[in-house]
């Protein structure tokens, strides 16, 4: 398939989370689609090894109650949401988990099909000839040839020693493929936020309102001068093992920080004004899929998105070194499976 880098794509410039993800959808730079499809029928529930926690049914106020949200992201209006009970992975899916999926299914990720993925500049130590481009408006993101989930820093790198780190360089479509294989699904945006809050109401972070560095670091974000110098006060320049820091009230690890997490919904900053109250599933159409939680590149002064209510999005075929996912399951999943099949 012919690929074309167009640094001036309007869609690429439309929305930039300067640290968290390199604007919206680097794959919009490409012509066509990867054509990577995965059968929606294969399912090996026992193969999904990530421990899950039960989230009780309940009501909550979704959105930014503290007033420090990013206006353009649409974290407001605050609105009441009611959810059924569900189960969610206590950690994001790890490299070891994803390796099992690939070994079992033979699945090929979109980064592998496209031939490159986006790597943060401080994480790249390979030859200049493998740099296919820089993200417009976020030049610290490099398109690196042969960067993918198993080679997160490009060719000659591997995930050896990173087995318990979150898988990265996975697109929304890749995450859906994993879900099809494992008999799970991605959380709705509302489920993700409810779970992240850990039973606390109207707080900024999964642990409450205390600053992220109060009494020791509580999440893996960026310290220092972005994007040149990371002082590593929290101990991690890149991803941290998934069970680092402390879990929230529901036993969930690193809902904020470490890696962005794909949600099932289309992303629309105006959606909260029209969201239904009961089990909202996001807009019916869109071009970007929701990302939540921020990453190891977030910084209070730069991309304050390591908060419960912070939102971002990217095209479903985009992949970067700071985006992963976790899965959910619920008693309504027969409905989800039917819907997935009918939309395939």
Q: Which residue is nearest to Ca ion (CB)?
A: 293
Q: What CA–CA distances, in Å, run from 288 to 14, 99, 119?
A: 11, 26, 20
- Closest distance to Ca ion from the beta carbon of 96 (Å): 17
| Of 236, 253, 267, 306, the one binding Ca ion by CB under 5 A | 236
- Closest distance to Ca ion from the beta carbon of 219 (Å): 8
Q: What CA–CA distances, in Å, run from 273 to 79, 148, 189, 261, 276?
A: 8, 37, 15, 23, 9
Stretch that binds Ca ion, among 11-19, 93-101, 218-226, 279-287 (CB under 5 A): 218-226
Query: How far apart (Å, rounded) are the C-alpha atoms in residues 140 and 142?
Result: 6
Q: Does 157 bind Ca ion (CB under 5 A)?
A: no
Stretch that binds Ca ion, among 137-145, 216-224, 242-250, 274-282 (CB under 5 A): 216-224
Q: Where in 238-297 is the site for Ca ion (CB under 5 A)?
A: 254, 258, 293, 296
- Structure-token match 């820089």, residue found: 134
Query: How far apart (Å, rounded) are the C-alpha atoms in residues 37 and 54?
Result: 31
Total residues contacting Ca ion (rule CB under 5 A)? 7
Q: Does 234 bind Ca ion (CB under 5 A)?
A: yes
Stretch that binds Ca ion, among 98-106, 181-189, 217-225, 331-339 (CB under 5 A): 217-225
Nearer to Ca ion, 16 or 234 (CB): 234
- Closest distance to Ca ion from the beta carbon of 5 (Å): 29
Which element (helix H / strand E) includes 113?
Answer: helix 110-114
Q: Where are the beta strands (DSSP E) in the chain?
A: 52-55, 58-62, 79-83, 86-89, 116-120, 131-135, 138-145, 224-225, 229-230, 260-266, 289-292, 311-314, 323-324, 328-329
Nearer to Ca ion, 114 or 296 (CB): 296
Instruction: Provide the 10 A C-beta neighbour count for residue 29.
Output: 23
Q: Which two tokens stand for residue 100?
A: 């099992």
- Closest distance to Ca ion from the beta carbon of 259 (Å): 5
* Footprint of Ca ion (CB under 5 A): 220, 234, 236, 254, 258, 293, 296
């Amino acid at each position: 398939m012919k690929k074309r880098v167009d640094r001036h794509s309007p869609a690429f410039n439309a929305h930039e989370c300067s640290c968290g993800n390199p604007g919206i959808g680097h794959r919009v730079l490409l012509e066509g689609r990867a054509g990577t499809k995965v059968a929606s029928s294969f399912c090996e529930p026992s193969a999904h090894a990530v421990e899950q926690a039960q989230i009780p049914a309940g009501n909550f106020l979704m959105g930014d109650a503290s007033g420090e949200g990013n206006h353009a992201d649409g974290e407001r209006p605050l609105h009441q949401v009611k959810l059924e009970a569900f189960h969610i992975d206590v950690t994001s899916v790890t490299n070891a988990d994803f390796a099992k999926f690939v070994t079992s299914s033979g699945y090929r990720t979109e980064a592998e099909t496209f031939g490159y993925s986006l790597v943060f500049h401080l994480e790249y130590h390979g030859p200049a000839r493998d740099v296919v481009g820089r993200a417009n408006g976020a030049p610290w993101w490099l398109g690196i040839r042969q960067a993918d989930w198993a080679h997160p820093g490009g060719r000659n790198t591997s995930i050896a020693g990173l087995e318990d780190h979150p898988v990265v360089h996975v697109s929304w479509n890749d995450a859906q493929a994993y879900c099809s294989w494992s008999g799970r699904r991605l959380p709705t945006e509302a489920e993700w936020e409810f779970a992240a809050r850990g039973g606390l109401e109207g707080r900024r972070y999964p642990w409450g309102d205390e600053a992220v560095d109060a009494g020791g670091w509580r999440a893996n974000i960026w310290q220092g001068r972005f994007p040149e110098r990371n002082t590593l006060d929290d101990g991690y320049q890149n991803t941290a093992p998934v069970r680092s820091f402390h879990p929230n009230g529901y036993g969930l690890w690193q809902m904020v920080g470490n890696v962005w997490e794909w949600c099932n919904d289309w992303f629309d900053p105006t959606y909260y004004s029209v969201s239904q109250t009961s089990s909202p599933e996001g807009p019916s159409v869109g071009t970007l899929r929701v990302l939540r939680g921020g990453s190891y590149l977030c910084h209070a002064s730069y991309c304050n998105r390591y908060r419960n209510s912070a939102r971002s999005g990217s095209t479903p075929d985009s992949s970067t070194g700071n985006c992963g996912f976790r899965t959910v399951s619920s008693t309504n999943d027969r409905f989800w499976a039917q819907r997935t099949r009918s939309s395939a």
